[in-house]
């Protein structure tokens, strides 16, 4: 269901509120300086033409080195492709470069194996540079003339194979810039030093539960010019990174207004971003968070593509010099992990014969299968009580409704085909959230009721960290159902329920 998110704010000081609002407004609207800086960057054309260059073989976040290796190996001149080395488990790590210009630009993605959004965008960028004879020829020629662009896509292929953050040694590569214990870390350091890179793009994913500042919008993108010391000093190298981020923020605001945050800028002496900044490379961290209706981050992938190509133009044209560090500093910090997949607000919940009013915040965990390539959701109540300061992708205003634990449908259904012929909305309206099947389906897609084995029972008691399914009733009439952390309005979501049944 899609219900507008209510804004809950505790106002402590009027002046503080006004100052925060003004700063966030400035961050979300290009200044005259920034507008001028964006004037010649072809970001709108890049955005509108994206589908012409998107790599069609990659459609989800969960892919492996074996999926992208053929895409890299097929690249022809003017690309230069080589093996930069191998991972702990012997998987090839590739180095791809294009251009002959004096300014060295280095990009690396997926140093955390489960952070794959930018790797998808790099495959799209390779397609962009592989084409010619279109409206972007002038830009390709300029970028290759002024820049030498080096990519390390999927720095952590062992982690990608498991879709896990760390490498095969269990090391977080982004905390290995000093000791260089891992071969993957050694590769990144060696390439940066060989290039003596002028610019570095450190490409990551972050939690989908961060907000952009203290407001009810997710941090779809977060950015940072990492600090090279504890004092967070700004020299020319870091200042240039800040100026570039100011430009990128204004591009992002065109498409995700109010959904850009600034990542925590506390200095981490072991991190690659902080050290590469310290070593003289203007370093920009881009973190891909959450976006409504984009679980596989395909829209965020597109934004990365547009932003990185736009950055190449800003560097080649020296447009970033027209930017202002203040534009960077006005971007609000991430507001913390204060988003949920679903919040049920002010529902009455029975405990020991008494009724209490609670908010319930659900988050959905991805449970992997098929060699980590696929997943299904398992939800739980991650927060319980007063959640008035938190936000969600979906909400149910349950004030005046009682949460009644879901029941198991009394008849055993033969299989999923038979279940799909039944009126699922009507089953939910009767308070049944679980249905037993004699033959369990192979599909693990979202379905509006829980499907369980014929010899199983269900416990839908409502408690913190549990995963109850329940209905919300007023005067004995069911209006809403919550199943595995998904909320359904049985009056307004009938078409959605039918669609989920048909798509299963």
181-200 residue pLDDT tens: 999 999 999 999 999 999 99
Closest CA to 132 of 101, 98, 107, 106: 98
Q: Rounded distance, CA 233 to CA 258, Å?
A: 27
Alpha-carbon gap, residue 131 to 374, rounded angstroms: 32
CA distance readout (Å), 431 to 62, 155, 422: 36, 50, 15
Residue 475, pLDDT > 60, answer: yes
For residue 296, count CB atoms less than 10 angstroms from its CB and return exposed for 0-12, middle for 13-18, buried for 19 or more: middle
Which pTM value belongs to this model? 0.92
Give me 295's structure tokens: 């679980």
Residue 88: closest CA among 187, 22, 175: 187
Q: Residue ranges of the domains in the chain?
A: 28-289+306-337, 339-503
First-residue to last-residue Cα distance in the chain? 18
Rg (CA), the chain: 25
pLDDT at 180 exceeding the cut of 60 = yes
Residue 397's closest CA among 435, 437, 347?
A: 347
User: CA 119, CA 117: separation in Å to the nearest integer?
Assistant: 5
Among left, alpha and beta (phi > 0; psi -120 to 50; other), residue 385 is left
353 or 1, greater pLDDT: 353
Specify the length of the chain in residues. 504
Query: CA-CA distances (angstroms) from residue 379 to 342, 465, 483, 485?
Result: 10, 9, 9, 5
Closest CA to 341 of 300, 288, 391: 391
pLDDT interval class at 7 (50, 70, 90): very low
Residue 296, pLDDT > 60, answer yes
Tokens for 275?
């050290």
In sequence order, which residues have a C-beta less than 8 Å from that of residue 459 and are 6 or more positions away? none
Q: Which ranges of 286-400 would DSSP assign to H, the alpha helix? A: 298-316, 325-329
| Predicted confidence (pLDDT) per residue in 360-418, tens digit | 999 999 999 999 999 999 999 999 999 999 999 999 999 999 999 999 999 999 999 99
SS3 186: helix
What digits encode the pLDDT tens for the residues 92-107? 999 999 999 999 999 9
Using DSSP, state whether 487 is helix, strand or coil.
strand
Q: How far apart are CA 216 and CA 199, in angstroms?
A: 33
Q: Please check the confidence at residue 424 and state whether its pLDDT lies above 60.
A: yes
Does the structure show a pLDDT above 60 at 10? no
Residue 220 to residue 293: CA distance in whole angstroms = 12
Mean pLDDT over all residues of the chain? 93
State which H helix or E strand residue 356 sits in: strand 354-369
- Whether the per-residue pLDDT at 17 is higher than 50: the answer is no
What is the pairing mode between strands 339-351 and 391-397? parallel
Per-residue pLDDT tens digits for 484-504: 999 999 999 999 999 999 999
- Taking the domain 339-503, which CATH number applies? 2.30.40.10
Contact residues for 51 (Cβ-Cβ < 8 A; gap 6+): none
Taking 50 as the threshold, does the pLDDT of residue 12 lie above it?
A: no
Q: How far apart are CA 300 and CA 303, in angstroms?
A: 5
Q: Are strands 221-224 and 282-288 parallel, antiparallel or unpaired?
A: antiparallel
Of 461, 465, 460, residue with least CA distance to 383: 465
Which DSSP string do the residues of 55-93 spell out, in sequence order? -TT--SS---HHHHHHHHHT--TT-EEEEEEE-TT--EE
Side-chain-side CA neighbours of 328 within 13 Å: the count stands at 23
pLDDT at residue 20 in the model: 41
| Cα distance between residue 421 and residue 437, in whole Å | 13
422: confidence class by pLDDT, cuts 50, 70, 90: very high
Block residue for tokens 């800040």: 242
pLDDT of residue 279: 98
Look up tokens 């989920």; give the residue: 500
28-289+306-337 and 339-503 in the same fold:
no
The token duo for 276 is 């590469």
pLDDT digits (tens, 9 = 90+) for 29-51: 444 445 555 758 999 999 999 99
The first and second tokens of residue 407, run together, are 């029941």
CATH number, domain 28-289+306-337:
3.40.630.10
Give the pLDDT confidence of 312-331 residue by residue, as tens digits. 999 999 999 999 999 999 99
Strands 334-337, 80-86: pairing is unpaired
pLDDT at position 40 is 87
Region 202-225 average pLDDT: 96
pLDDT, tens only, 64-100: 999 999 999 999 999 999 999 999 999 999 999 999 9
- Whole-number Å distance between alpha carbons of 94 and 82: 6
């Amino acid at each position: 269901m899609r219900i507008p998110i209510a804004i809950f704010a505790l106002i402590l000081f009027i002046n503080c509120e006004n100052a925060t609002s003004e700063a966030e407004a400035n961050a979300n609207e290009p200044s005259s300086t920034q507008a001028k800086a964006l004037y010649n960057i072809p970001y709108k054309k890049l955005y509108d033409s994206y589908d012409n260059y998107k790599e069609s073989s990659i459609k989800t976040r969960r892919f492996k080195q074996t999926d992208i290796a053929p895409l890299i190996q097929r690249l022809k001149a003017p690309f230069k492709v080589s093996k930069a080395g191998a991972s702990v488990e012997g998987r090839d790590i590739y180095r791809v470069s294009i251009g002959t210009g004096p300014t060295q630009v280095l990009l690396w993605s997926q140093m955390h194996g489960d952070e794959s959004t930018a790797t998808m965008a790099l495959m799209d960028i390779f397609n962009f540079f592989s084409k010619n004879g279109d409206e972007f020829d002038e830009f390709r020629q300029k970028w290759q003339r002024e820049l030498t662009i080096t990519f390390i896509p999927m720095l952590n292929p062992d982690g990608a194979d498991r879709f896990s953050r760390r490498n095969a040694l269990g090391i977080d590569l982004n905390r290995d810039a000093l000791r260089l214990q891992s071969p993957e870390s050694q590769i990144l350091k060696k390439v940066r030093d060989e290039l003596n890179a002028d610019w570095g793009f450190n490409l990551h994913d972050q939690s989908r539960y961060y907000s952009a500042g203290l407001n009810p919008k997710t941090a779809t993108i977060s950015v940072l010019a990492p600090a090279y010391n504890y004092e967070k000093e700004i020299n020319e190298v870091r200042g240039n990174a800040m100026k570039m981020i100011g430009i990128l923020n204004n591009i992002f605001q065109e498409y995700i207004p109010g959904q850009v945050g600034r990542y925590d800028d506390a200095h981490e002496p072991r991190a690659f971003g902080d050290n590469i900044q310290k070593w003289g490379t203007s370093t920009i961290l881009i973190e891909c968070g959450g976006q409504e209706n984009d679980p596989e981050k395909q829209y965020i992938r597109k934004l990365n593509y547009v932003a990185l190509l736009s950055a190449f133009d800003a560097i080649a044209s020296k447009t970033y010099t027209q930017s202002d560090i203040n534009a960077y500093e006005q971007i609000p910090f991430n507001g913390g992990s204060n988003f949920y997949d679903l919040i049920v607000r002010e529902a009455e919940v029975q405990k020991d014969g008494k009724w209490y009013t609670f908010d319930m915040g659900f988050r959905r965990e991805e449970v992997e299968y098929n060699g980590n390539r696929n997943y299904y959701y398992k939800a739980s109540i991650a927060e319980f009580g007063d959640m008035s300061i938190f936000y969600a992708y979906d909400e149910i205003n349950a004030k005046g409704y009682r949460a009644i634990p879901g029941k198991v449908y009394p008849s055993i259904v033969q299989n999923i085909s038979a279940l799909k012929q039944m009126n699922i909305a009507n089953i939910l309206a009767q308070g049944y959230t679980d249905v037993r099947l004699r033959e369990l389906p192979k599909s693990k897609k979202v379905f509006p009721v829980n499907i369980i084995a014929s010899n199983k029972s269900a416990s839908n008691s409502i408690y913190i960290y549990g995963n109850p399914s329940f209905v919300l009733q007023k005067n004995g009439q069911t209006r809403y159902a919550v199943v595995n952390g998904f909320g359904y309005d049985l009056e307004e979501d009938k078409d959605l329920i039918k669609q989920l049944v048909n798509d299963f």
